Amino acid sequence: MRESKLHFVNYKYQIINMKKAKFPSLNALRVFDVAARSGSFKQAAQQLGVTQSAVTRQIQALEEQLDMRLFQRDNRVHSLTPVALELAPQIEQIFDQLERAIERTRSLNDNTTTQLTVAISSERFRFWLADKLEDFHAIYPHIQLNFTRCADYFAGEHAADMVSAVQHQSWDIAIGYGQINDKHLQSQRLSKNDLVPVSAISTNDTPFRQSWITNPDNPEHTKLVEANQSKLKSQRIIHCDDFYMSLDLAQTEKAVTLVDSSLLNAQLSHLTPFREYAQPIKSPLSVFYKKRKRQSVALVAFIKWLQLINQ
């Protein structure tokens, strides 16, 4: 351990003496910091949104720049060397200080025009949010909302895409359903809703005498179909992963499709809902955003407003 400490002292001397030693890559140091914290190149790659081989290359480049080994590699298990154990907490502290400085700088603009990028499904924007935005802008004229499209259910690839976009700040907020367990994200509940079978034709019959249109990528659709499998065994199940196409198909095929109860407003009053066959959606409608020690005033204001209109 004494030898490793001497090695670390020599490393600090190399950084200070810039004329004789090139300062290591900031990006490589960041990769090292994440890898040291997570304890795994695979987990570091997931957190950084890159491949595991890219993490390996950055670590190898840093080891070459510092002329020292930072990780012991044994059958794909990566453990910190003694000198890396000395280096890691100081690098972590430096990046924490840098993040706090950036957050303080961003907070200076909280009272000026602030932009938020909101990810939301096209159907949720149209039938749930759009007609309420005038009220929001009247209360918060200095907050500009930009919108991008995402899935309404965050599962599988859609969940991974959402987590990556929020974590890397391509999106400030994502609205939808999903059981997301990621230490870098926070969520706030908006409402509990149901999945309702609806028909494009007016009928007093049950929904099980018509074909059903379902989204195979939506786990709630799959669960509702499985719960009624015996009643649907003689009916066609048509797969469609687009909300608006499903509405059109329901009209042309005289079929049943599945709609979130929170979307059933006046614009969809032509549909016949079968509420007695509705199924509670397992997870609540939520807003997801990046975990920070201090959130921007604009983000907090928008989330509080969303919660208010969903009471």
Residues with Cβ within 8 Å of 98's Cβ and at least 6 positions away in sequence, in order, are none
**Cβ-contact 190, 306 below 8 angstroms:** yes
CATH 1.10.10.10 location in the chain: 2-107
**Cβ-contact 264, 278 below 8 angstroms:** no
Instruction: Give per-residue pLDDT as tens, 273-286.
Output: 999 999 999 999 99
Instruction: Give per-residue pLDDT as tens, 242-272.
Output: 999 999 999 998 999 999 999 998 999 999 9
Check residue 101 and give its pLDDT. 75
Query: In terms of pLDDT, which residue wins out, 98 or 163?
Result: 163
Check residue 92 and give its pLDDT. 87
Name the token pair of 59.
Answer: 């670590």
**Cβ-contact 117, 287 below 8 angstroms:** no
Residue 3 has pLDDT above 90, yes or no: no
**Statement: 2-107 belongs to CATH 1.10.10.10:** yes
Instruction: Give per-residue pLDDT as tens, 218-234.
Output: 889 999 989 888 888 88
Query: Which band of pLDDT confidence, cut at 50, 70 and 90, is reported for residue 106?
Result: low
Range of lowest pLDDT (49-63, 75-89, 211-225, 270-284): 75-89
Query: Which band of pLDDT confidence, cut at 50, 70 and 90, is reported for residue 24?
Result: confident
Residue 302 has pLDDT above 70, yes or no: yes
Name the token pair of 159.
Answer: 């969940």
CATH 3.40.190.10 location in the chain: 114-187+284-309, 194-280
Q: Which CATH architecture has domain 114-187+284-309?
A: 3-Layer(aba) Sandwich (3.40)
Range of lowest pLDDT (5-9, 26-30, 106-110, 222-226): 5-9
Name the token pair of 261.
Answer: 């109860």
Query: Which band of pLDDT confidence, cut at 50, 70 and 90, is reported for residue 12?
Result: very low
Residues with Cβ within 8 Å of 215's Cβ and at least 6 positions away in sequence, in order, are 221, 239, 240, 241, 246, 258
- CA dist 5 and 16 (Å) reads 17
Residue 18 has pLDDT above 50, yes or no: no
Check residue 165 and give its pLDDT. 94
Mean pLDDT over residues 10-25, rounded? Answer: 52
Residue 171 phi, psi dihedral angles, 5° rounding: -120, 140
**Cβ-contact 201, 254 below 8 angstroms:** yes
DSSP 24: P
- Which class is domain 194-280? alpha beta
Residue 100 has pLDDT above 70, yes or no: yes
Query: In terms of pLDDT, which residue wins out, 39 or 13?
Result: 39
Mean pLDDT over residues 37-63, rounded? Answer: 87
Which amino acid makes up residue 184? H
The H-or-E segment that residue 117 falls in is strand 114-120
Residue 155 has pLDDT above 90, yes or no: no
Range of lowest pLDDT (8-12, 44-48, 278-282): 8-12
Residue 25 has pLDDT above 60, yes or no: yes
